[in-house]
C-alpha cells in the first residue's frame, strides 16, 4: 500500500506549490476533507475532484489550508480512476489527472477533519474504525441536508480563514444531526455506478454536484456563479 504523503502526494495530483501551501502548519492550520466510497475509482474520486474544482472556482485557489482527498473501504490501491468517472469530471471542467486509488486506512481517518461518505454503510464502516470519527463523519447527502439548515451568518467570515470556517461548519452540522433526519433511508445514498454505462455515471455526477454545491458555498461563503 502507498502511505499517505508518499510519492503520489495526498492531494492526488496537486502541484508542488499547492502541496507546500496546504501542508504548512499541519495539523493545526489545515482542514482535511476525506471522501469515502468502496473502490475509490468512481464516486469518491468524482467527489474529491469536484470539491477541489468548485472551491477553486469560488476562491481562485485551493489553498488556505484546505486539503481534499479520498479513499475506499475496499480501495483499489494504485488503480486508475474509471474512464467514465474521468468523462464526468471533464463534463464539469474538473481535472482528473494524476489520480490513483487508495485503500482506507486508520491514518486517513485520524487525520481527517471531515469525512463524507457515499452511503450509510460507508459511514458506519468509518465510524467503526474508532478514532472519535462519529462527530465528523457524514454521508455526503446527509451533510448537505444539515448544511442547508445552518444560517451562514452564524459562521465565521472567510476573512478568518477557510480552516476556521470549516471547523465551525462541521460543529454546527453535528449539532443538528439528531434534529434533521432523512425523509427516507435512500435519501442519503449515492449509488455505485461501477460497471454501469456513461449515462448512469453522468446521473451520479449530477447528484454529487447538487450535493456539493451548498457545501462548497458554506465552506467558502461564495455562491456558485449563475
The candidate with the shortest Cα–Cα distance to 94, out of 144, 44, 35, 47, is: 47
Question: Radius of gyration of the chain from Cα atoms?
Answer: 16
We report the CATH number of the domain holding residue 204 as 3.40.50.2300
Alpha-carbon dihedral 11, 73, 150, 212, rounded to 10 degrees: 60
Specify the pLDDT at position 6: 31
CA gap 85, 130 in Å, rounded: 30
Tens of pLDDT, residues 190-215: 999 999 999 999 999 999 999 999 99
Q: Give the mean pLDDT of the chain.
A: 87
The candidate with the shortest Cα–Cα distance to 217, out of 158, 141, 164, is: 158
In a domain, 22, yes or no: no
Specify the pLDDT at position 28: 56
In a domain, 14, yes or no: no
In a domain, 51, yes or no: yes
In a domain, 19, yes or no: no
Are the C-beta atoms of residues 201 and 84 closer than 8 Å to each other?
yes
In a domain, 103, yes or no: yes
CA gap 45, 123 in Å, rounded: 17
- b/e 87-121 (16+ beta carbons within 10 angstroms → b): ebbeebebbbeebbbbbbbeebbebbbbbbbbbbe
Beta bridge partners of 67: 32
Classify residue 129 as exposed, middle or buried by CB count within 10 Å of its CB (0-12, 13-18, 19+): middle
Sole residue written with cell 439548515: 149
In a domain, 104, yes or no: yes
In a domain, 188, yes or no: yes
Specify the pLDDT at position 226: 66
| Strands of the sheet with 66-72, listed across from one edge | 66-72, 31-37, 114-117, 137-139
Instruction: Divide the 226 residues of the chain into consecutive groups of 10 and give the mean pLDDT of each group.
Output: 32 34 48 97 98 94 88 94 98 97 97 97 96 95 97 94 96 91 88 97 98 96 83
CA gap 142, 118 in Å, rounded: 10
Specify the pLDDT at position 4: 33
Q: 3-class SS at 159? A: helix
Cell numbers linked to 95: 481535472
Are the C-beta atoms of residues 215 and 221 closer than 8 Å to each other?
no
In a domain, 26, yes or no: no
The candidate with the shortest Cα–Cα distance to 137, out of 164, 180, 102, 108, is: 108
Number of domains comprising the chain: 1
Query: In this structure, what are the phi and psi dihedrals at residue 96, rounded to the nearest 5 degrees?
Result: -105, 0
Query: Whole domain around residue 104: which residue ranges?
Result: 31-220
Amino acid at each position: 500500500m502507498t502511505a499517505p504523503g508518499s510519492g503520489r502526494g495526498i492531494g492526488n495530483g496537486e502541484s508542488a506549490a499547492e502541496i507546500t501551501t496546504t501542508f504548512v502548519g499541519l495539523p493545526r492550520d489545515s482542514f482535511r476533507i476525506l471522501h469515502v466510497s468502496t473502490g475509490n475509482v468512481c464516486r469518491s474520486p468524482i467527489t474529491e475532484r469536484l470539491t477541489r474544482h468548485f472551491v477553486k472556482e469560488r476562491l481562485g485557489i485551493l489553498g488556505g489550508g484546505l486539503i481534499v482527498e479520498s479513499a475506499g473501504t475496499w480501495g483499489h490501491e494504485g488503480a486508475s480512476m474509471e474512464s467514465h468517472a474521468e468523462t464526468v469530471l471533464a463534463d464539469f471542467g474538473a481535472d482528473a489527472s494524476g489520480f490513483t486509488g487508495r485503500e482506507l486506512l486508520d491514518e486517513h481517518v485520524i487525520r481527517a477533519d471531515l469525512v463524507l461518505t457515499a452511503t450509510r454503510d460507508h459511514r458506519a464502516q468509518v465510524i467503526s474504525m474508532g478514532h472519535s470519527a462519529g462527530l465528523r463523519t457524514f454521508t455526503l447527502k446527509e451533510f448537505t441536508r444539515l448544511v442547508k439548515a445552518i444560517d451562514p451568518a452564524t459562521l465565521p467570515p472567510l476573512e478568518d480563514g477557510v480552516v476556521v470556517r470549516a471547523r465551525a461548519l462541521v460543529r454546527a452540522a453535528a449539532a443538528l444531526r439528531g434534529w434533521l433526519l432523512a425523509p427516507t433511508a435512500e435519501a442519503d445514498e449515492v449509488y455505485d455506478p461501477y460497471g454501469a454505462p456513461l449515462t448512469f455515471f453522468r446521473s451520479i455526477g449530477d447528484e454529487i454536484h447538487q450535493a456539493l454545491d451548498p457545501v462548497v458555498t458554506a465552506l467558502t461563503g461564495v455562491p456558485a456563479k449563475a
